Amino acid sequence: MSIYPTQDTTLSEAYGNYVKIRNLLLENKGKYEYLIIDGLSDLDMLASIGGTYLFMDSVMGKTFNRRGGEKLKYGDKDFVLVENFLKDGGGYRWTREWFMQQIEMFKQISPYRIFAAHVSDKLIRDNQREEVVGAEIALTGKLKTIFASKVTSLAKLTADGDKRYLNFDVLNDSIIAGSRNPKLSGKILISEKDKEGKIITHWDKIY
């Protein structure tokens, strides 16, 4: 399931499209053996909207984003995102909760789930220096470690010519690799091109 908002799609439309597709998949639980979510950064972006609606449906947010008692929708000029409303980062609790609710829903849709994510450098900064100490999933704040704790395995996709590998080795202070399954370790060939240019995959080495 691709949830990337395009140049021709507003964030509001992307959110609506995502919810429609997700709900359709939930109506067909177990129909699909594999579910690929592309990508997590886009789901994190939609969490600003989803988390705000989640807060609006809570006891604490029962009067938030209302006009005449009616709920406002994202895109309304008076609509405020929850992370911009609650102080001291309190709004991110709701965006994180919505995001992880989606992860739980994906479990209902398919037994095997693959999440595609961007990565970013993990930095140490002080007055004297800035040093790269590893890599991490490009998600907001604590969400990167919360998500990493919920999945079975993490691997970095690397390329070598026409071959693609999943690298499960943990390097330095990274949180983009590692596995609870002892079978998934080291660098595993996941796809390659044959002499005719056909792409051959090796998901049997993973599942």
Specify if 33 maps to a domain: yes
How far apart are the C-alpha atoms of 128 and 139, rounded to whole Å?
Answer: 27
pLDDT at 51: 98
pLDDT of residue 48: 97
Per-residue confidence (pLDDT) for residue 70, from 0 to 100: 96
Has residue 43 been placed in a domain?
Answer: yes
Q: How many domains, the chain? A: 1
pLDDT of residue 170: 83
Domain assignment present for 146: no
Question: Does residue 75 fall inside a structural domain?
Answer: yes
Q: Enter the tokens of residue 101.
A: 């609710």
Domain membership of residue 149 (yes or no) is: no
CA quadruple 49, 52, 58, 64: dihedral positive or negative?
A: negative
pLDDT tens string 83-94:
999 999 999 999
pLDDT, residue 57, reads 97
pTM summary value: 0.87
68 lies in which domain range? 1-117
Backbone angles phi, psi at 124, to 5 degrees: -110, 125
- Res 120: pLDDT: 83
Give domain status of residue 12, yes or no: yes
Low pLDDT (below 50) residues in the chain: none
For 55-94, the pLDDT digits (tens) are 999 999 999 999 999 999 999 999 999 999 999 999 999 9
Does residue 156 lie within any of the structural domains? Answer: no
In a domain, 35, yes or no: yes
Q: Where would I find the beta strands (DSSP E) of 46-92?
A: 66-67, 70-71
